[in-house]
Each structure stands twice: as C-alpha cells, then as structure tokens.
C-alpha cells in the first residue's frame, strides 16, 4: 500500500490509506500546529533502548551516511484500534527496520520498515503485513510547499 500526503495552509491531503482518491482535512491553525507536535519521528523512536538493541551499523559504500539495520522486537507490542475494535498482536514473523543518517548533519535521511504479524480480536484472527518508507529531504531549507493543483482540485473533504 502506498500512502502520499501533503501538508500546507492548515490542510492535510492524503491518498491511499483508506481511500483511492485524495482526501482533504482542513484544520484550524491550532489543530494544524498540533499535528507537528504529535506526529514526530521521535514518537516513533520512543523505546530507543529496546529498538536500538536489534540494530547494527551496516557496511555501506557511502562515507557520508550511517546505516542502522536489523530485525527489531519491542518488549511490548501495542494493541491498536481499528473500526472501534481492539486488536492484539499475537505473533511477529518479521519486523525489520533500516535507518539512514547523514554523518555530516546527524539528520535522519530515511526510515524503512517492513513487518509481518498475526493479530486477533474477539471476532477473528488475521495476518497483517506492511512496508513503510519515510524520506527526509530539504531539511531546514528555505522553500515553499507547493501542493499540486490536481490534488487540490480532486480532493474530497474528509467525513
């Protein structure tokens, strides 16, 4: 599954998570500001002691980058809600993480994660597989965010 998102002018445009077309979510200035306080990479790396234990520095030919890679297993996988149902992670078959760091700036360049697990709730058991690839670029740059016009024109307001 591919997910795309654009953030700008107190609006979040997303495509691919639970819909085929672009979804527009217009927020107040305060709500929009909170998005960046709540959705940070630091939150993703909250259990750094547990997470880092499974990662090793990988040999890579680029002398300007550090790559950390490995299979990771958290002490406690969190239950999560979907459609009002609480799901429990039963078994983890794969949980691989790769983090790419710029040696010169210490900024994250890329986070890539693959997972494969079994989840259950009071109704059913199922497999859950996914891939996530987050790239960071133009950090601290002086640039303007331009949301493509086709995204703006075709987006439907979130219900």
Task: Indicate whether 23 and 90 sit together in one domain.
Answer: no
Task: Indicate whether 57 and 125 sit together in one domain.
Answer: yes
- Bridge partners of 99, per DSSP, are 68, 111
For residue range 127-140, what is the model confidence (pLDDT) as tens digits? 878 888 888 877 77
- Is residue 114 within 8 A of residue 131, CB to CB? The reply is yes
Going by the DSSP 8-state scheme, the letter that residue 130 receives in this structure is E
Task: Indicate whether 80 and 32 sit together in one domain.
Answer: no
Task: Indicate whether 23 and 79 sit together in one domain.
Answer: no
Tell me, yes or no, if the pTM score tops 0.85: no
Which residue range is the domain that position 25 belongs to? 1-39
> Which secondary-structure segment (H or E) carries 152?
helix 149-154
Q: How many domains does the chain have?
A: 2
Per the domain annotation, does 57 fall within a domain? yes
pLDDT beneath 70: ranges in the chain = 1-2, 17-19, 38-53, 60-61, 73-85
Task: Indicate whether 58 and 127 sit together in one domain.
Answer: yes
Per the domain annotation, does 150 fall within a domain? no
What token pair was written down for 70?
Answer: 């490995």
């Amino acid at each position: 599954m591919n997910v795309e998102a654009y953030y700008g002018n107190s609006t979040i445009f997303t495509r691919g998570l639970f819909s085929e077309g672009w979804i527009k979510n217009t927020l107040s200035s305060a709500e929009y500001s909170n998005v960046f306080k709540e959705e940070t990479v630091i939150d993703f790396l909250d259990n750094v002691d547990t997470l880092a234990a499974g990662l090793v520095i990988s040999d890579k030919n680029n002398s300007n980058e550090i790559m950390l890679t490995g299979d990771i297993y958290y002490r406690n996988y969190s239950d999560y809600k979907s459609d009002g149902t609480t799901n429990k992670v039963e078994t983890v078959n794969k949980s691989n993480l790769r983090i790419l760091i710029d040696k010169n700036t210490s900024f994250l360049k890329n986070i890539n994660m693959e997972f494969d697990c079994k989840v259950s709730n009071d109704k059913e058991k199922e497999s859950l597989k996914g891939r996530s690839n987050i790239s960071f670029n133009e950090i601290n740059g002086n640039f303007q965010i331009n949301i493509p016009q086709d995204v703006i024109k075709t987006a439907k307001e979130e219900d």
